[in-house]
Amino acid sequence: MPLSIAPALKPGLAFALALMAGTASADTLYFSAIPDEDETRLIERFSAVADYLEGELGVDVQFVPVKSYGASVTAFRNDQIQLAWFGGLTGVQARLMVPDARAIAQGKEDPIFVSYFIANTDTGLEPSDSFPEDARGMSFTFGAKTSTSGRLMPEYWIRRETGEAPETFFDKVGFSGDHSQTLRLVASGAWDIGALNFAVYDKAVAEGAAETDTARVIWQTPPYPDYNWTIRGDVDARFGEGFADKVQAALIAMDDPDLLAAFPREAFIPAQNADFQPIEDTAKELGLIE
């Protein structure tokens, strides 16, 4: 079955078709990212990152947009991409599939990431340090099904705080597909409540997005590790000894405010697989991985 990959940036549709056919160049480092926001915004973020990495690494670097969280993991497993900006759960899934794959960097904020629960103002729910028990019987939307901040950790805390499955506590449960869509749907009243990445909401506030007027934060989860850059274990054999470490160094050295603001992150710091063991344990507890 062909991989669901959106048209690539460089050199365009021909490249995407070649990649889907398994004919991508071995001399190019291909990377992707989970589609946690609109594709247009992702392209803006990562085209500049590709240019930065190309300059630092001395090899051709191509960003490959994908259509879903699962597609990013599949592309990594099939060696159609060698580097990826994953969420906590997708990073765990990818590393379990590819021998010697390793997390090499994460945002400075990622070891203490949180999810926001937001509610439409018409619900009457108010911000609180306690889980919103008054949300019982309302409608609720997660983000993508394999999103760490949009599904995994919100579901974990719903179950822990209420002792019930989301489908029991809420009247109706759905999946929006990404964080930006969750914000739009809750703001419009299509869903009463939703869970999303705190950084996406905070950025919307900073940009003066109208959606934040009718979708406010009512609760946030305790912190957990989340996003990470993960690289395949065979890149040194392809690009030369020490290449993975060189990629790690380039990411950590990234200090252009515009590049960092696009994630948004204050900086990148080293990461290792063990940092995300809590995510793997939680995913196993919820039956999302074996």
Q: Where does 97-225 show beta strands of DSSP type E?
A: 102-107, 115-120, 139-142, 172-175, 193-197, 215-220
According to the model, what pLDDT value does residue 119 have?
A: 98
From CA 8, how far away is CA 5, in angstroms rounded? Answer: 8
10-20 tens-digit pLDDT: 433 444 444 44
List pLDDT tens digits, range 130-183: 999 999 999 999 999 999 999 999 999 999 999 999 999 999 999 999 999 999
- pLDDT digit string, tens, across residues 69-102: 999 999 999 999 999 999 999 999 999 999 999 9
Mean pLDDT of 251-267: 92
Architecture of domain 13-110+226-285: 3-Layer(aba) Sandwich (3.40)
Which pLDDT belongs to residue 122? 98
The full set of domain ranges for the chain reads 13-110+226-285, 114-220
Common-topology check for domains 13-110+226-285 and 114-220: yes
Q: What is the pLDDT of residue 26?
A: 63
Is the Cβ–Cβ distance between 106 and 148 less than 8 Å? no
Looking at domain 114-220, its CATH architecture is: 3-Layer(aba) Sandwich (3.40)
